[in-house]
Structure 1
Amino acid sequence: MNNQIFPCMWFDGNAKAAADFYCSVFKNSKIMDENPMVVIFELNGNKVMGLNGGPQFKFNEALSFVVNCDTQDEIDYYWGKLTADGGQESMCGWLKDKFGFSWQIVPSMIGQLMSDPAKGQRVMQAVMGMKKLDIDKLKNA
């Protein structure tokens, strides 16, 4: 596809290990192409490039991937997989994986819950007090 836009993630020599890890977490994923400098992979149909660029740049929260989840089981699955082996929980559904990349694991209906005039504020307050988001608690806020 011409003019396709996709992210490039800068790694310090471990782009292939990261791509393998991400492809193991997201079931509809695969390595598409690789060489010593670059690995191209697909996560649930989204193309990503991993670049072995060196130690000059580190990930930060200015860029994150959002994973919309329809069920609590999905939230629990992605949260557990992405925080495993050195990942770190943060607040409000955010986490960092073992490579230091930030993810937001959120219920698909979060926008709908927050836009409800009667309870949007309570939902936002509930989100602010959670690490991993809990769908039932958000619905009942």
Structure 2
Amino acid sequence: MSKISPCLWFDGEAEEAAKFYVSLLPGSRIETVQKNPADGPAGKAGTLLVVEFPLAGQRFMALNGGMRYDYTPAVSFKIDCADQAEVDRLWDALSANGGEVERCGWLRDRYGVSWQIVPTALLKYLGGSDAAGAQRAMQAMLGMVKLDIEGLRRAYESKSAA
């Protein structure tokens, strides 16, 4: 059966990025490191070409492609977080050292890769049976940078507009 896995393109930081990513999520590890077999556009013979790694069960490949390409938020990686502590830990780690925070739980890490750090409780509030509460939670989320579960809960449960 065919499988799909993302390939992240780097200009020399593939191994560094892969090690960083696998340090953040349980069940993640570097599996394969492949060197360039000969001098070429992606580097000199013997330099790192590809790193393959599962990240929380999803397979990824990081490639040192030999030039820089910019990522866009049109493709991002969403991490479902069980609680605020996990949201905070991943948000802080991924946005550190040159990362850029955006709104509604989105950020770009130091390599330019876009991530969505999303508490699983978000769906409970946005899809709850109280339509007015869901609307208040949506408005609260739109005003947040890092998502705050307690703020979403308060907005959902309040009886007036957030």
TM-score (norm 2): 0.82
Question: What count of residue pairs does the alignment treat as equivalent?
Answer: 140
Deviations 1:73-113 (A, max 9, x none): 01001001111111111100001111110100011021221
CA–CA distance in structure 1, aligned partners of residues 115 and 148 of structure 2? 16
Tell whether 2:134 aligns with 1:135: no
Match for residue 79 of structure 1?
Answer: 91
Match for residue 120 of structure 2?
Answer: 108
CA–CA distance in structure 2, aligned partners of residues 56 and 70 of structure 1? 34
Match for residue 90 of structure 1?
Answer: 102
Match for residue 38 of structure 1?
Answer: 50
Any idea what SS the aligned residue of 2:140 has?
Answer: helix
Tell whether 2:135 aligns with 1:121: yes
CA–CA distance in structure 2, aligned partners of residues 28 and 87 of structure 1? 24
Structure 2, gaps ≥5 residues long: 35-47, 156-162
Aligned-residue offset at 1:56: 4.8
Aligned-residue offset at 1:52: 1.0
Q: Which amino acid aligns with 1:134?
A: D
Q: Give the CA RMSD over aligned residues.
A: 1.1
Any idea what SS the aligned residue of 1:66 has?
Answer: strand
Any idea what SS the aligned residue of 2:87 has?
Answer: helix
Tell whether 2:75 aligns with 1:63: yes
Q: Which amino acid aligns with 1:129?
A: G
Structure 1, gaps ≥5 residues long: none
Match for residue 16 of structure 2?
Answer: 17
Deviations 1:7-54 (A, max 9, x none): 111111211110011011113210010112111011111110011113
Mapped contact 2:10–2:68 kept (Cα < 8 A): no
Q: Which amino acid aligns with 2:103?
A: M
Any idea what SS the aligned residue of 1:119 has?
Answer: helix
Q: Percent identity?
A: 45
Dislocated runs of 4+, deviation >3 Å = none
Any idea what SS the aligned residue of 2:71 has?
Answer: coil
CA–CA distance in structure 1, aligned partners of residues 75 and 67 of structure 2? 18
TM-score (norm 1): 0.94
Aligned-residue offset at 1:57: 2.0
